A and B are shown apart, each in its own frame.
Chain A
Amino acid sequence: MNVRRSLAIAGLLLLVVGTYMGLFVAPPERHMGEVQRIMYVHVPSAWNAMLLYTFAFGFAIASLWSGKPEWDDRLVGAVEVAVVLNALLLVQGSIWGRATWGVWWDWDVRLTTSLVMLLLFAGVLTLRRMASAERRAQWSAVATIVAFVDVPLVYYCVRWWRSLHQIQSSPETVDPAMVIPLRLNAIGILLLGVAWLMARAAIEKARRRRDEAPLPSRVIVKETAHA
């Protein structure tokens, strides 16, 4: 069985078990009640979006350093998966915020930097589409490195500045019965995310091969695609 499929299946299993425990085994929060269960997807989305942006940052440096197009394939995979998680993060946070804080949104530093993070990396993906094939990898890598500045800010802003969003929780501040589903979902989403990253990189590689192929075979590929 290939690596990508094994990762996806393992990730899905962890996510199912973690979500079941989060919904039915873990206790409700003493003050927030049942709505706190959104934490089991919100926090893993945040961790994994930031982790995948960090992967993309590493791929960007490797891509510029080596000039090998495979790093650019991985970069687009990492950025796309992280952008999806980033968008989910904002939606989940908004729902949780309405129920606990009383508002869907406020221009607090954590919320604002998280939105900026989404817009910056959506910008990286837009820039890729505008760039010529020869420049695409280089532009994407430079834009990813610049956009990455916001990622540590998202993490540290709540420690540096006053905010509506609370600071990071830790195993000391979270009931042990809540820590287990949180970790299962975090690892589950990570494995699924990496599987998606690999699948997306494979698609990018196939596209690149097609576009680099000599003209006759390109025509054939396009015709088969339309058939």
Chain B
Amino acid sequence: MSDDRRRRVLGIVIALAVAAAAFTYLAMSSVGENLVYYWSPSELRAEGSGAVGSVVRLGGLVEAGSIRREADGLTLRFAVTDGKASVPVYAQAVPPAMFREGIGVVLEGRMQEDGQFSTQRLMVKHDNQYQAPGENEVPKMEDMVRSLQLEDGD
């Protein structure tokens, strides 16, 4: 093996080792557990008063029949559920057109003392279903809950 070739092969070995180590660390370590993008209503409820005050994201489904629009046109009240627990939401945000009963939402805001979640950043989370109009018009509750990815990774 010439010196030049030895150096190149060493380059491959080092680069692959760095890449593999970085990937293994990210995939296997507990870094994923610290990467909680949003809390479910159950998790936020379980935290009780500990969750009050800090800015967090709450992810869940808009509870059927819970949407109320205030007369000022800016305030929106609804409840977010994961099928087990529910959190009332006070939103001052213009909801995107996709917003409706039963859809997934991710809200950035604060838990208030009175148990309401206050938000000004309302995002709609949809699942990976793309269908033509008129077919399977009403998505199944179980499918929507699954789209929230609440069971922790595999």
Contacts and interface: CB of A to CB of B under 8 A. Distances in A.
B19 A149 contact: yes
Nearest to A31: B98
A162 B96 contact: no
Query: Looking at chain B, what size class is its interface with the partner chain?
Result: 35 or more
A51 interface: no
Contacts of B71: none
A148 B100 CA distance: 39
Given A152-B23, A162-B36, A166-B127, A175 B9 contact: no
A61 B75 CA distance: 57
Contacts of B79: none
A205 to B, nearest CB: 20
A136 to B, nearest CB: 13
Contacts of A211: none
Contacts, number: 143
A13 interface: no
A153 B22 CA distance: 11
Given A64-B9, A102-B122, A146 B19 contact: yes
B98 A175 contact: no
Interface stretch (A76-84, A137-145, A191-199, A212-220): A137-145
A24 interface: no
Interface of A: 27-33, 36, 39, 60-61, 64-65, 67, 99-103, 106, 108-109, 138, 141-142, 145-146, 148-149, 152-153, 156, 159-164, 166-170, 173-175, 177-178
A178 B125 CA distance: 21
Interface string B131-145: 111110100000000
A142 B126 contact: no
A166 B135 contact: no
A194 B36 CA distance: 38
A164 B123 contact: yes
A61 B123 CA distance: 42
Contact of B8 (A99, A138, A161): A138
Contact of B124 (A101, A148, A170, A173): A101
Considering the complex of A and B, which 10 residue pairs feature the smallest CB-CB distances, nearest first? A102-B96, A27-B132, A145-B15, A169-B128, A162-B37, A30-B133, A160-B153, A142-B15, A64-B12, A166-B128
Contacts of A160: 27, 32, 153-154
A138 B153 CA distance: 37
B95 A102 contact: yes
A106 B37 CA distance: 10
Contacts of A61: 12, 16
Nearest to B100: A31
A81 to B, nearest CB: 21
Contact of A173 (B14, B15, B128, B137): B128
B48 interface: no
A27 B133 contact: yes
Interface string B50-74: 0000000001000000000000000
Contacts of A64: 8-9, 11-12, 15
13 contacts: A29-B133, A32-B130, A67-B5, A101-B123, A102-B98, A103-B123, A146-B22, A153-B26, A161-B32, A163-B37, A166-B126, A166-B147, A168-B128
